[in-house]
Amino acid sequence: MALDINALINKAVSALKGDSSLKSLFGTDPTKAIQKILGVDLSDDVVKKVIEGVTKVLGEEKASGILAKIKSFFCKKG
């Protein structure tokens, strides 16, 4: 059975966006958060890949949000 890591990452990101307590848990214990979200027993290697992917997606979204705010600040027309 082949696992779709991207599907697992997307599921985890969606769950984290919708639940602040899960997001907090992910910040303190990402392995436990991922296992709780996905509800399946995964190998350490798969969990590590999912954590890395989720961290990357959340980091990119945060960075793009910050860049949008900066851009809107400098592009305002008075």
Q: What is the pLDDT of residues 30-52, one digit of tens each?
A: 999 999 999 888 889 999 999 99
**Per-chain mean pLDDT for the chain:** 84
Please say whether the beta carbons of 50 and 34 come within 8 A: yes
Q: For residues 22 and 20, what is the distance between their CA atoms, to the nearest angstrom?
A: 5
> Average pLDDT in the 9-26 region?
93
Report the predicted TM-score, pTM, of the whole model to 2 decimal places: 0.75
Residue 26, CA distances (Å) to 16, 39, 53, 59, 70 in order:
8, 15, 13, 13, 27
Express the helix, strand and coil content of the chain in percent, nearest 5 each.
80, 0, 20
